[in-house]
Every structure is written in C-alpha cells, then in structure tokens.
Amino acid sequence: MFLFTGKGGAGKTTCAAAFSLALAGADRQVLLVSLDPAHNLGDVLDLRLGAAPREVAPGLFAMEADLERVVQEKTREARRLVEEEYRYLSVASLDPLFSILGQAPGVEEQAAGEVLLDLRDSCSRRGRILVADLPPTGQAWRILSLPALSLRWARSLLDLRRKVLDRRRTLFHVLGEETPARDMEGRPLPLEEDQDPVACRLREVAARNEGLARDLQDRSAARVVGVALPERLSLLEAARLEDRLRRWGIPLSALVLNRAGRDLSLKEWDFPARKPDLVLENLDREPRGREGLAPLGRELKRLFLE
Amino acid sequence: MGAGHRFGRFLRSAWGSLRASAVPYTEWEARELEHLFALLALGSAAGIPGPPTLLSLDLLPFLEREILVLQAGTRRAGDPWGDLFSTFDVT
C-alpha cells in the first residue's frame, strides 16, 4: 500500500497517478483511489472517474471515493438496524442524534478511513497494490491516525463492557432467576461476551482497525510518501507531517521534492525535515494523461521498487 | 441444638445479611457502569470527547438499553442524594 500526501498543490495526485501507471506498466495489478473530498485524480488522468473502480489502463483501476455518500450509507444502515432492533425508542425520536452524528466535524476523514479499511481488505484478497491519493497534510494525518485511535477506543469500551457483563454475572450468581439484570420485557440481559451484540461489534471494530494500524507502522506493508515543493512552507509542513505521524508510530517512508527544476542547488534550501529521498525536476508543471505522467512514474518506481 | 448446628445457622444468617447489602450495591454499580458506557459510546452526541463518530454510529443500533439508562439517569440527576441513600438503604 502506498499513500501520498503533502501540502495542497505540491503534486501528490500527480505523483500517485504517475506511480500507479508505472506499477501497472510493470505488470502489477493496482487500485488507485482518491480520498481527497476535492478530487482531481480524474483531471490528472484526463478521464472521468466515479466512486466505483474503473480500469483506466491495463492492470490499473482508479476511483474517486464519494465520502459524503459513505457517511449517508452508514447513517442509513444504522437507521435500518435501529428500526429492527429498538422496541421502545422510535427512529423519529433519535433523528437529532442521527443528525449530530452524520454531520459531526471530522466525519469525512472518518469516512475516508472506512474506505481505506475496505479497500485494504479487497486489495489484499485480489492481490492488488493499493495506491491512495490522500487529502492535504492536516486531513491526511487524521485519516492515518484513525485506525490506531479507533482501536484504542474500541478496546477501552470493550474493557468497560466486560465490567458491565461481570457485574451482571455476579448478580445472576447471587440471585439466580431473580436477577434484576433484565430488559424492559423482563428477559435476562446477556451475561457472556459472545451473546452481547455490543461486545461482539466492538471486537469486530477492534480487529478490523488493528490490521490497518499495524500495516501503517510497517514499512513493508504500507508506505506513506510526503510530496513537497522546494518552498519553505511546503517543507515545514512535510516536517510537521513526519512529526505527527511519528507520534502514532507511522514512519514517513519517503519525501519527494517535486518541481525542483534543473537549476536547484539543494544546498540553497534549508530542509527542516530530512533531505528528500527523490528530487523530481518535473519541468512540465502540469503533466497529465498517461504519456505526460510516464517520466515521473519511472522515477518514482525506481525509488520504491528498485 | 449442637454447637455445629448453631455455627451453621450463624454462617447462613451472615451470608444472607452480606448478600442483602451487597446486591443493591452491585446493582447500583452495574447501572452506573452502563451509564458510563453509554456516555462514552455516545459522547460526541452529548458534547463530551468520545470515540470517532462513525464508531458511535456503528454501535448505536445496539444501545437502546443504554440510551434508556441515560434517560433514567438524567431523571435521577435531580435528586442524587435520594438515589444514593436508597441504594444504601439509608432512611
């Protein structure tokens, strides 16, 4: 898995697209996804893309995730389950809650995290390399820290749930059938973790996020690539990206300096982060389409695969 | 009545008494833990730091009881001393 991010306009989409084309050209099966709500992957490839993967070159599938739709679908699914499961509270009475949850700040980054989880699983089943064009730095580090954060929450809530189940079991052992741990219809509440739908769901969430959180910390499974321009602000942001990711144990695998031009003397630049792993001259400021992206792709492929 | 029999009766009575005082406390503890669980799981809806919102949305369909416990807790919040005294049977 390769994940490209950087300051807005640094060329992360261009690099992700060029690299994906080069991988597909080397007989790899690749899925290229844009997780930026302000997509321009289709513009770079000179193609119209949708939320479903489309084969844009032999072996290369590309898509622009519809994050708003992901949130809507998750809300709709939760509403359907609430209608099925709830006996006393009506869906209508929970409308304000759905509205808060569906429009909460940061929910689009979380939707991007969900898409990443799904695509990681599907790519691993199909033997595809996943290349993600992430949003700019601030949103990207929130997406990348999400699996570890969700894992922490799921584990903490599961610990608390186990304590609830433990107290219920204590009451059952002391009082037997007279236990007060009953639902509104008088049926005994689940005592064991495997019978408790909340604990089961938390275990599923933890297992799902644990895999991605582990991959993101492992350079052989996932590579986060920072793309920066030879400008002070862009390089400072790359340094912050590396620092933020380090807090979650995620290494920045490579820093690519884009549009460096021919006359750049690296000594002239003050690198607040580490020195770039790859300097792209990229004289054509806006390469597009398969032909235009090919030279960039070759250099990126050399950095990562050779 | 032998000493053994009397000792047995004493133990049964002590157990009954301990059980009578432990049960309300355990009930109270179970309810408060459920309350805490609901507050944490649905924190983002209640304005306190909570798990990622989509995780709350994932759990919501299974939390009807917890929401009812929260609502009951809100009603009891007006009389916390009454709630505490009734739990420990203070009259």
B32 part of contact set with chain A, CB < 8 Å: no
Query: pLDDT tens across A56-88, in order?
Result: 999 999 999 999 999 999 999 988 998 888 888
pLDDT for residue A183 is more than 70: yes
Amino acid at A270: D
Over its C-alpha atoms, chain B yields an Rg (Å, rounded) of 20
Chain A residues close to B42, C-beta within 8 Å? 97
User: Taking a C-beta distance cutoff of 8 angstroms, is the pair B22, B16 a contact?
Assistant: no
Q: Residue A198 and residue B63: Cβ atoms within 8 Å? A: yes
Strand order in the sheet with A60-64: A54-57, A60-64, A30-34, A129-133, A2-6, A223-228, A252-257, A278-279
Q: Distance (Å, rounded) from C-alpha A226 to C-alpha A243?
A: 12
Query: Residue A148: what pLDDT?
Result: 95
Q: Binning pLDDT at 50, 70 and 90, where does residue A264 land?
A: low
Q: What is the pLDDT at residue A201?
A: 95
Q: What are phi and psi of A92, to 5 degrees?
A: -60, -40
Q: CB A164 to CB B40 under 8 A? A: no
pLDDT at A36: 93
- Is B48 within 8 Å of chain A by CB? no
Q: Is residue B8 part of a domain?
A: no
Nearest CA in chain B to A108: B54
CA dihedral A103, A109, A110, A116 (to 10 degrees): 140
pLDDT value for A280: 85
Angle at B21 between CA B19 and CA B27, to 5 degrees: 90
**Does residue A221 contact residue A215 with C-beta atoms inside 8 Å?**
yes
Partners of A62 in the β-ladder:
A32, A54
More confident residue, A205 or B76: A205
Which chain B positions have a beta carbon within 8 Å of A161's beta carbon? 37
DSSP-derived 3-state class of residue B38: helix
More confident residue, A216 or A271: A216
Considering CB atoms only, which of A82, A175, A189 is closest to B61? Answer: A82
Residue B52 lies in a domain: yes
Chain B residues touching A208 at Cβ < 8 A? none
Contact across the interface for B22 and A174, Cβ inside 8 Å: yes
For A7-46, write each residue's pLDDT tens digit: 998 999 999 999 999 999 999 999 999 999 989 999 999 9
In the predicted structure, residue A197 carries a pLDDT above the cut 70 = yes
How do residues A91-112 score in pLDDT, each as one tens digit?
Answer: 777 888 787 777 788 899 999 9
Tokens of residue A187, six digits? 């049926």
Residues of B in contact with A146 (CB under 8 A): 52
Show residues of chain B in contact with A106, CB under 8 Å: 52-53
Candidates B26, B42, B55; nearest CB to A171: B26
* In-domain check, residue B18: no
A positions 116-175 inside 8 Å of B (CB): 146, 149-150, 153-154, 156-157, 160-161, 163-164, 167-168, 170-171, 174-175
Residue B4 inside a domain? The answer is no
At A249, the pLDDT band (50, 70, 90 cuts) reads very high
pLDDT for res B78: 67
> Does the beta carbon of B40 lie under 8 angstroms from any beta carbon of chain A?
yes
Q: What pLDDT was estimated at residue B48?
A: 77
A264-273's contacts with Cβ under 8 Å and 24+ in sequence apart are A264/A230, A269/A230, A269/A235, A270/A232, A270/A235, A271/A235, A272/A235, A272/A236, A272/A238, A272/A239, A273/A226, A273/A228, A273/A235, A273/A238, A273/A239, A273/A242
Alpha carbons within 13 A on the beta-carbon side of B12: 6
User: 């608390």: which residue's tokens?
Assistant: A160
Q: Residues A178, A180, A186, CA angle at the centre, nearest 5°?
A: 85
Sequence-separated (6 or more) residues with CB below 8 Å from residue A271:
A235
Residue A191 forms contact with B (CB below 8 Å): no
From chain B, the residues in CB contact with A156 under 8 A are 40
Are the Cβ atoms of B23 and A174 closer than 8 angstroms?
yes
Query: Is A264 in contact with A238 (CB distance < 8 Å)?
Result: no
Instruction: Provide the pLDDT for residue A12.
Output: 94
Structural domain boundaries of chain A?
2-146+219-305
What residue numbers bound the domain in which B50 lies?
24-87
Q: What is the pLDDT of residue B91?
A: 55
A211: region left, alpha or beta (phi > 0 left; psi from -120 to 50 alpha): alpha
Number of structural domains found in chain B? 1
Alpha helix locations (H) across chain A? 12-25, 41-45, 67-85, 95-102, 107-126, 137-175, 197-216, 232-247, 289-305
A91 touches chain B (CB under 8 A): no
pLDDT score of A212 more than 70? yes
Q: Write down the pLDDT at residue B5.
A: 85
The reply to whether B69 touches chain A by the CB within 8 Å rule is no
Amino acid identity, residue A115? Answer: V
Would an 8 Å CB–CB cutoff place A306 in contact with chain B?
A: no
Across A105-123, average pLDDT: 93
User: What CATH homologous superfamily does A2-146+219-305 map to?
Assistant: P-loop containing nucleotide triphosphate hydrolases (3.40.50.300)
| B59 in a structural domain | yes
Least confident of A131-135, A164-168, A259-263: A259-263
